[in-house]
Structure 1
Amino acid sequence: MAKENKMMQRRRFIGNISKAGLLGGLLVSSTGSIANEIEALAAHPGEGHIFLVNPYLQAPEPDSMRVMWITNKLCYSWVEYGEGAELTQKAHETTNGLINAYNRVNCVQLNGLKPGASYRYRVVSKEILDFEPYELKYGETITSDTFTFQTPDPKVKEVSWLVMNDIHDRPASIPHLMKLAGNDAYDFVFFNGDMFDYQTDEEQIIRHMLAPCADVFASRIPFLFVRGNHETRGKFARNLTDYFSNPGQRYYYSFVRGPVHAIVLDTGEDKPDSAPVYAGIVDFDAYRKEQAVWLEKEMQTLAFKKAKFRVVMMHIPHYYSGDWHGTLHCRELYAPLFDKYKIDFFIAGHTHRYGVFNPVKGQHNYPVIIGGGPTEGKRTIMKIKANEQVLQLSMLKDDGTEVGKYEIKSKR
């Protein structure tokens, strides 16, 4: 009964996700500093001690997995896990000899895992009531349900994943689109930017993305994330990295799954850095140039050269998205490298108009796939499967209608 009460408390805190999604509103405070908002959120004395977000999986690797979750009280937290029925192992994060504690946003990496193995786990958080220099007092301990995940196997010959983009603070879209995956298996979910309109506080991030993801799939299946231009906006945008854990702990990265070498780029804002709305506190031109240097080095690696399929995913497409500065700068920096190193597939969002564009000689020698969104009738989910011979993409509109598909055969 106590567990059911806590779940009801959590549900009341998270709110009616479907209504929030339909309204598209931001359930945030309009006054006060970020520090005050976080402090107020952490208090919630009437809620007892609860998980604001159940565990969600990040940064999957053959020998590791990161587990994140959020509590409403300051805690010492850890993960209990194991291969069999018994959760015989325990993991917490340590920094410079100090175990991470007296915090609410948790990220624990499980190391030394076996590739392609199935693990069971749960998270535990023990409230810290008082933290004096020589005396620490604990309060209530809460424990999550037990979940299962599987580590990637580098020896597998196939991979499948889902792509969503441009949700724009409509959390009801996440479970709705996920249902369209049906009973098909998938290895991870990729969010290709603009999950939010702008970042105002933690509660928005929880209600509009993390909670629906954890409730639907993310406690069992990891997700990866890259910013869109809207994730660079708002007073909480600089705190966003606290709630996600990408490979390399940054917004641009690469990974290999089966026959696919994937590259993820952070395209930044779509307007010039000098635009008045940015008030002189952005520097995306330099950031995109930094990524171009990294991109060429990554494309020179043996893993990239050997891959049966080379896939790039980023939010702003460098073609078919107008002539704003962000689009043109991405085209200037990345398009020559995409052609020089012969990528096979490109996936983007941003335009809110889904489309499948065949290769065009002299522009892009690879298909450009753009997802839709965010309103009803324009929302899309992409289903991608690849083995050593063929890569297939199917893009579904939110009524289940297939509105785009593409298939390529391996050239290597």
Structure 2
Amino acid sequence: MDRRNFIKLSASIGSLTPALTLAEKAQPASAKIAASHPVLMAPREDSISAVWRTTTRAKGYVEYGTAPDKLDQRADGDNWGMRPSGDNHLKVKLHHLTPNTTYYFRAVTETFDRKTPTVEHGEVRSFKTLSSNNPSCHFSIWNDTHKKEETLKTLFEKTPKESEFMLWNGDISNDWYQADDIPNSVLCPAGQSFPFPIIPLRGNHDLRGNYAGDFQDFVSSPEDLPWSAFRVGPVALICLDTGEDKDDDHPYLFGRVSCHDMRVAQAKWLEQIIEQPTFKNAPYRLVCCHIPLRWTDETTDKGYDWFSKRSRILWHDSLTKWGAQAIISGHTHRPALIPATETFPYAQLVGGGPQLDRATLISCIADDKKLHLHSQSLTGETIHSLELQPC
């Protein structure tokens, strides 16, 4: 099945995705109120966020510490002086963490019943903060999962648990047409629990549907923007948002998007971020974005973008100046590796599609000698392999 037919079919069956019912949301205070383990997002050297699903309106906080039996610190506020609360999820950010340190934590969820509130203490779990001083790193990349349960379950099974994080490189959805689609798909996809922190990036389908504007409520990023940059060991990683694969005024998009201004804002931000020492001096320099910046046949017009030329025009000069070594993308549902050239001095690596037999798992393993990008099928077959030397 080609990409276009898959998208049409997915749109027609998207409404069948299981979701919490109104009855489940209205459970009495004695019922379980936390519906998922906390999903750790936006890992950094000194911070991380926890987001978890709830069955009803609730408030909550996170207890944490450096030993499983000594959770002596608590994250429970926001910049507005309020405890985190919500109808179907909670989001708490942990600040002032120490780099390269293992922390233990648990989520605490409370009902709003003033007389006899229910308080749930979640399972004690752990995470390790990132460090730019580490000599090596290991992380994983998914793309174009499109809520395919069998593919998601297999990715959970195959992704190394020692991954410092997993970057979800767009098209998490088929389009967001139900209120519960986003929390169900992001916080407990296929009923699974993430064993590692995640960095969710948007794909073009994640900008579609009546509820697409709610996506940012259920994810976390350091600056509350859909683009970011950080160091993990010797690797500097810039995450960009390519937006839609059509013009903003395309009739199919029903006036929902305004991606041009977002791409321009990223271009201005990119000019500044590449001058910061932590990125300017990084041994390895990678970019992740959903839609490729290059493609194998750039003359083909399918009515949608196989590659984001509109993004490349704005970002290419900065990426070249920075010395970006590879762009890692998805979108096409066709794996590809396009070598660097004199005109485009960065390679383009593209992951596979959502079907179980077309999906890929991309791993990045780097040390002081080389960076290895390995794209494999879910049966373990090598699809593409790229080795990069330190800059």
Does residue 335 of structure 1 match 2:316? yes
| CA–CA separation in structure 2 for the residues paired with 1:271 and 1:127 | 44
Aligned residue number for residue 52 of structure 1: 35
Q: Out of 65, 71, 74, which is 2:57 matched to?
A: 74
Q: Out of 73, 97, 107, which is 1:89 matched to?
A: 73
Aligned residue number for residue 355 of structure 2: 375
Flag the 1:26–1:261 CA change in 2: closer, same or farther, 3 A: same
Aligned residue number for residue 108 of structure 1: 92
SS at match of 2:152: helix
SS at match of 1:383: strand
Q: Out of 160, 180, 188, which is 1:211 matched to?
A: 188
Q: Out of 177, 185, 194, which is 2:155 matched to?
A: 177
Shift of 1:339: 2.1
| CA–CA separation in structure 1 for the residues paired with 2:82 and 2:183 | 27
Superimposed CA distance per residue, residues 51-82 of structure 1 (whole angstroms, 9 cap, x where no aligned partner): 22211101112222211112112223111222
Aligned residue number for residue 147 of structure 1: 125
Flag the 1:92–1:38 CA change in 2: closer, same or farther, 3 A: farther
Alignment of 1:9-88 (within 5 A): 25-27=14-16, 42-44=25-27, 48-84=31-67, 85-88=69-72
Structure number with the higher helix fraction is 1
Does residue 230 of structure 1 match 2:205? yes
Q: Out of 371, 374, 377, which is 1:394 matched to?
A: 374
Does residue 319 of structure 1 match 2:280? no
| CA–CA separation in structure 1 for the residues paired with 2:184 and 2:199 | 18
* Amino acid aligned to 1:374: P
Alignment of 1:233-312 (within 5 A): 233-312=208-287
8 Å CA contact 2:364–2:373 kept in 1: the answer is: yes
Structure number with the higher strand fraction is 1
Does residue 159 of structure 1 match 2:140? no
Shift of 1:172: 3.0
Shift of 1:103: 4.7
8 Å CA contact 1:28–1:203 kept in 2: the answer is: no
Q: Which ranges of structure 1 fall in alignment gaps of 5 or more residues?
A: 1-20, 31-36, 130-135
* Amino acid aligned to 1:236: Y
Shift of 1:113: 2.2
SS at match of 1:311: strand
Give the stretch that moved more between structures: 262-271 or 318-327. Answer: 318-327
* Amino acid aligned to 2:61: W
Flag the 1:182–1:251 CA change in 2: closer, same or farther, 3 A: closer
Does residue 407 of structure 1 match 2:387? yes
Alignment of 1:126-145 (within 5 A): 126-129=110-113, 136-145=114-123
* Amino acid aligned to 1:408: L
Pairs aligned (count): 374
Superimposed CA distance per residue, residues 359-412 of structure 1 (whole angstroms, 9 cap, x where no aligned partner): 1232x112110000111211001011111221101111122111110101112x
SS at match of 1:346: strand
| CA–CA separation in structure 1 for the residues paired with 2:201 and 2:31 | 34
Aligned residue number for residue 199 of structure 1: 176
Q: Report the TM-score, using the length of structure 2 for normalisation.
A: 0.88
Shift of 1:139: 2.5
Superimposed CA distance per residue, residues 331-359 of structure 1 (whole angstroms, 9 cap, x where no aligned partner): 22122332233211110110000011111
Q: Out of 83, 86, 105, which is 1:99 matched to?
A: 83
SS at match of 1:209: helix
8 Å CA contact 2:291–2:308 kept in 1: the answer is: yes
8 Å CA contact 2:84–2:92 kept in 1: the answer is: no
Shift of 1:126: 1.5
| CA–CA separation in structure 2 for the residues paired with 1:166 and 1:56 | 19
CA RMSD of aligned residues (A): 2.6
Flag the 1:237–1:292 CA change in 2: closer, same or farther, 3 A: same
Give the stretch that moved more between structures: 335-344 or 263-272. Answer: 335-344
| CA–CA separation in structure 2 for the residues paired with 1:360 and 1:67 | 41
